[in-house]
Structure 1
Amino acid sequence: MNAHPAAAARIQARVRCITFDLDDTLWPVMPAIHRAEARFYEWLQGHAPQVCECYTPQALIDARSRFMQAAPASERHDLTRLRKRWLRALALETGSSPARLESEGFEVFWEARNEVDPDPEAASVLETLSRHFRIGAVSNGNADVFRTSLGPYFDFALPAAEAGTAKPDPAIFRAAARRAGVRPESMLHIGDDAVCDVLGARNAGLHAGWFNPGTEPWAHREARPDITFGRLGQIPVRLGLIRPAPLRP
């Protein structure tokens, strides 16, 4: 369900900052993750072959998943710290160098993790929005938007690791508002996750936009998103910043 034009106009008039989720909103996350895991395993073959003697690529991914899922809830917001802790444990288990896996090995993974393929509409949308609003990123992942091609459009980024908590905790959204120098009610957060992005933002007093390309039904009793988008290109149109393209006869 999309916002009524009048409601969208009210949002546009009140909002001074727009924040975005990153993974699966501005780019698909799994291609980058698969590429990063493959490149990391290739690095292991040349620099820590003991690991490859113990684990196939899939077995290594499974071991990492189990390690992170077993971590205390209080640590799960910091994926970089968790991965480095896993790398140290992996090195000790296989007789590899903990320092090398934690530093060089992590950098190999993280560099590939940031080689994302943005949505074809993302750059033009962000360029338009950046002429009217401060633009920020609020993400539970450990991608660095400033290492991507979309970085020039952003004024700030607040990952969960830096905030000390993850979405949907309202605290991360309120921290983003402080970073932007605006009140929460002057912010619009856009993301694909109904709970983490929409309900989290609404509970923090922000406006919330739901990026819903699959046209999934709203399955929550709590308040609906202020505005819903099926494509990124609809965002500046729905906010009244540009006119929609005329229909072809």
Structure 2
Amino acid sequence: MAYAVAISTGVLARQPADTLWSEMLSTILDHFRDGRDARILLPLHGQRSIAVDGSVRTADDETLGIALPYDRDFSQLVDPREICQILFTLQGREYRLLTRIQAIPGASDLLVKPKPPAIALQERQYFRIDTRVELSYYRLASEMPQKPHTVNARVNLSGSGIRIPAAEPLQTGDLLAMVLCLDGGKCLENVECLAQVVRFSTLPNGEMAAAMHFVEIENQDRDKIVAFCLARERELLREKVRTRDFY
């Protein structure tokens, strides 16, 4: 049975995905019933995106209406095939909601349908670092058994997420079961987590990269990642000092 991650009273809860998403959707629709301001991450043609301030209001039992700034015509800019994201605050916590665009009824209006799950954003105190790690993952959406996809490359890593080269076709919203190897390929210090693709970007070398948020991870495993990042940063600083002293 598929599972999703909810955050209730600050504690990760694991429930059947269909029941959990029904409860989450009801809460989200009630939250936007009278209209609320939110940050909208709009997908544009050409695999680009922009963030704008907008207003979100519940349209019916399945969809939300988004009112964008009236000073621009977004109808030709937005790519309706891609994921539209809504960033909002609920009960004092920040959330990221992934939605599918159902219609573009006007120059500054969208009709979107939420898709599970709504992601509670972690506080951004986690230290990020560019480093080489080995990891493997497979997508949870497939009904057929999959062979894990292995990556051994330079990534951007923190306790809240990871950005990896997008060598395998992925889509925004994909849920991945992931294992990170943090000890130089020996795989004695593994971290298991559930990650979700939230956006794509182009690296300086022209390659595409997928940014992922850890939506389910044990606290001790998150601490391992943070400790690894800090230790790796100290190593890089020592290497810089040795190089400077040598020259």
- TM-score class, shorter-chain normalisation, is under 0.3
Report which structure shows greater RCO (CA 8 Å, sep ≥6): 1
Q: Specify which structure has the higher proportion of strand.
A: 2
TM-score by length of 2: 0.25
- Which structure: greater helix fraction? 1
Q: Could you tell me the TM-score, scaled by structure 1's length?
A: 0.25
